[in-house]
Amino acid sequence: MSNQTGCGPDICVVVPTIREYDCVRAYVENAREHGFDTSRLFVLLVTEEFCETEQMRAMLSELAVEGAVFDGPRREAWYADRGVESYSHVVPAASHAETSFGLLYMWANPAFEYGVFIDDDTLPRAGDFFGRHLSNLAHEGPVESVASDEQWVNVLYQAADEHGLYPRGYPYSAMDETVTTDTARLDHGDVVASQGLWTNVPDLDAVRILMDGDLEGQAQTRTEADQFEQDFVAAPDNYLTVCSMNLAFRREIIPAFYQLPMDDNEWSVGRFDDIWSGVFLKRACDVLGKQIYNGRPLCEHNKAPRSTFDDLHNEVAGLELNEHIWRLVDDAGADAESYAAVYRSMADALLAADPETYRNGGFLHHVGSYMHDWLDCLAALRRIPTPTAEPTDITSV
């Protein structure tokens, strides 16, 4: 890694939270237990003003890590300080998609070379969590490459014959695929994202949870560490689900990694922010010859019980769109030479889609428009000098 000990944080750890922010303690303890330099970490808690913001700041101070807590009013102040308040709509409030604020914060602070997304209902499993993610991002040499005849890779494929699970966002039309594996040989810099997978509660959509016989939003079938023995990449021209609960990435992908606007829209589409962002990122990676690395480090997903039907209500408006959105961008930006250029082409492809073809098809135009706003916001931030004193809540001691 290019950052040298003592040079300040180069990793922005983004945790969207309104409840279990205390999980940060476990990740910092894991880093120290494995000798990872915690002075490299900047923990950004993205929350709301009705949450325990002072307690969050106190936790960061107690842990002696640099970080900041941004509720809604503070995010608005951040936009205003940089003259980009006209773009504040790109980050929805009280939505998991507010992880996009973490991407904006990183983009405005060039010292951050890497980002890490962590969900607040997870804990690190055994092993060096941050070290393994950075090792994945630096991977050179052979790695298993997975493909299927449906152009989709089930990230749970290694034990699929045992548990039969498909993750949230995997198209129903791509099930019962024939899987093939090969070996890819990667050069330095080829890996731009590292997706760690999860044990305990699998990341399923509500329909699949109901089929698994669970009414509390979890699943009767659980995943175990020994079901993830092989790290892998999805072959070119194959898509995969990208879940942001355990994910590290290079800052270069931010233009093509917007966590899409969900929940607060007239179509009531929700729960696909990270899934669709992963589809778009994979298309950009295929165009630019980059890879998303999958496997370890694992996290333990401790999803709290809640009504499966509440999740179904939030997902059903976008289920049909999820079956088709990847096809709409599958040939976009073929000649592009940057993440932003590929992303702009994908946005144009959504804007060109016929909204009458799909249920809630107008949402495609909504997303395409917001994707353009995302790129314009990043461009505006790049033109604005970084403030001499970025607002932080605590400093390392």
Q: What is the pLDDT of residue 94?
A: 86
Residue 329 forms part of a structural domain: yes
pTM equals 0.94
CATH number where 214 lies: 3.90.550
- How buried is residue 380: exposed, middle or buried, by Cβ count under 10 Å (0-12/13-18/19+)? middle
Given this model, what pLDDT does residue 3 score?
Answer: 46
| CB hemisphere CA count around 15 (13 angstroms) | 27
Predicted confidence (pLDDT) per residue in 334-387, tens digit:
999 999 999 999 999 999 999 999 999 999 999 999 999 999 999 999 887 655
Instruction: State the total domains in the chain.
Output: 1
Q: For 191-217, what is each residue's pLDDT tens digit?
A: 999 999 999 999 999 999 999 999 999
Chain segment 42-92, per-residue pLDDT in tens? 999 999 999 999 999 999 999 999 999 999 999 999 999 999 999 999 999
Question: Is residue 393 assigned to a domain?
Answer: no
Closest CA to 364 of 391, 324, 309: 324
Residue 2 lies in a domain: no
Would residue 57 count as lying in a domain? Answer: yes
> Could you tell me if residue 280 is inside a domain?
yes
Count of all residues that appear for the chain in the document? 397
Residue 101 structural domain: 11-383
Any domain includes 143: yes
DSSP characters over 275-315: HHHHHHHHHHHHHHT-EEEEEEEEEEE-PPP--HHHHHHHH
Span 288-305, mean pLDDT? Answer: 97
Q: Is residue 389 part of a domain?
A: no
Residue 181 domain flag:
yes
Mean pLDDT computed over 125-136: 97
